[in-house]
Structure formats: structure tokens, C-alpha cells
Amino acid sequence: MSKIKVLVTGIIPEAGLTELRKNFDVTYEPEKETREWVLEHLSEYEGLLIMGLKGDRELIDAGTNLKIITANGVGFDHIDIEYAKQKGIVVANCPQGVRVPTAEMTFTLLLATVRHLHFYDKVVRSGNWIDVSEPKYMGMSLQGKTLGVYGMGRIGSEVAKFAQVFGMKVIYNDAHRLDSALETKLDVKYVDFATMVKNSDVITLHAPALPSTTGIFNAEVFKEMKNSAYIINAARGQLIKQDDLIAALKNGDIAGAGLDVYETEPNIPQALRDLDNVVLSPHAGTGTLEARTAIAAEASQNLISYLRDHQPLNQVNQ
């Protein structure tokens, strides 16, 4: 009997596909898998591990035999999950593999931002020197400060643990409040959005991009933040109105920002790139070999569980 055919797109560590290859006939040839190639050949496949392409209506319509699409990561806003549901196609994501590496990147950005590492690095590389005894060149210590976590899910909870090691108090806001026992276990306090904005020394974002969250951090919110506060975003660029952030950083409404994601990604405005009080990285939250291998293995298990065992795993369009 011929094996079920599965297509893998994007740049995926081969080690993460080991179990997938044991179970299915896997096509993974990134050098030729352009969008045009995928649209032409997708009807041959029952499973799709998608990375680097939009899973829009055109692509879904091309997959006439598709039974499941899995994202290669936790985010699935590049896939039209409702249209896939109409077509009877399961859409899954990978929430576990991204948890720790994205939290690591978040805290890396946080430390680099509050300690002005981009500016220091720029000064030293230019052959100059500064006296950090001058207050205008000083960063901020974390001990005793308040971290506001917008979205206390898996990644937000992990970041909260890191922050507590540095002596920070953690407050959070989320559309769904944790139960009191879990709040006690995590040592975090729920507050409303306005309270989080006004009282945080650093705000870190870990919410999905939804109509209710898109642009939620805007000019009005930045003016309500402490002018000594920082914002960190390794979640979704759409959460922040980018032009409003640039203005806030220029005007001193907030002290700085650490960004791994952008509203106009990958086209980053020159005005943002020119600022010394922002640290930028290229959507690299899961950018380690260990993390990408684990995510590919998790995506593979989504496909195996459904196509072989008929059990949906990590389904996001139920």
C-alpha cells in the first residue's frame, strides 16, 4: 500500500522530520517549493507542514485532498483557519516547542533594552567612549521593578519566572484570568489593562494578534506609561501601532523598546532603525537549532497523530 503523502515547506531542520519520514511519503525540497510550485502540486498531498507561505484561500483551494495543515510554530495568523474548517481541514499549531526559546529571546531583549546595550555597543564600535556616571547614559536595574505581562499563557508564564529570578514583581493582564491557585503558584497578580500600563516599569507582550488586540498599544497607551518604562514585543507586530511607537520613543513618552516582531515585517522603517533607544532582532524568537528541531518534531507529531491515528492534536479550528 502506498504511503500517505505529506508536503513540508520552508527551512526546517532535517532532524525534526525523522518520525515524519518513518510514517509518510514526505516531500521536502525547499529549493523548488515556491508558492507557484506548491499551488500546482498541493492536490497530491493529504498533510501540509507550512512555513514561509500564506495558507490563504487560494492555497487551501489548491489542496483538494488536504486533511490537515500544521503551522511550524505557535502562530497561525498566516492560515485562514475558518476557511480551512469549512473545507473540512484540521489546522494545528505547535505551542510547546516555542515556549522556552521565545521566553529566552524576550528576556534577552528586555535586558539588552533596559541596560542600553545597543547604544553602548554602537559607541564602543565607533571608537568613542562615554562616562556612564552621567545619568543620561545610565540604564535601569530590574531588582524591585514591576514587570507587566500582557498575555499570561505558556510563554508569558515562563518570562514571569525569569523576571522573578531578577527580583521583579509581576503583574499581568489577559482576556482570561488565571485561577487563583495558579496565580499563587506563579506568584503573579491580575490587574486591569489600565493599571498594568500605568504601573509597569517594563511591559512584555505575549498575546495573539486578534481584532481585539491589534493596535492595542498605541499613542494613547504610551502616554499613560511611565516615561521611564520599556516595552518588549516578541509576540506579534500587530499588537503595536508602529508609527505611534516611533513617536513615543522620539518624544520620550517611554524610555525604550525591544522588538523581535514588527507591524510591517520584514520592512522596518528607517525611522525605527535610526533610534538608539530600541533593540531590534529579525523575528528570531525561536532561532536556535534546538528550538527549531523541537518545533519541527512537534509539527510532525500533529500530522502523525491525525493522519495515522485519527486523533487531532493542538487543533486551533475546532
- Annotated catalytic residue 158: no
Sorted by sequence, the CB contacts under 8 Å of residue 295 that are 6+ apart come out as: 16, 72, 73, 94, 97, 98, 286
Residue type, 247: A
278-311 exposure pattern, b = at least 16 Cβ within 10 A, e = fewer: bbebeeebbeeeebbbbbbbbbbbbbbbbbeeee
Q: From residue 30, give the alpha-carbon distance in Å to each of 27, 37, 294, 297, 314.
A: 9, 11, 19, 18, 25
* Closest by Cα among 86, 32, 13, 6 to 290: 13
CA-based nearest residue to 217, from 186, 196, 188: 196
**4 backbone dihedrals φ, ψ, rounded to 5°:** -60, 140
Q: At 99, which helix (H) or strand (E)?
A: helix 99-114
Q: Which of 19, 78, 154, 265 is catalytic?
A: 265
283: annotated active-site residue: yes
In total, the chain counts a number of residues equal to 318
Marked catalytic residue, from 236, 263, 292, 298 = 236
Q: Which residue numbers are catalytic?
A: 236, 265, 283
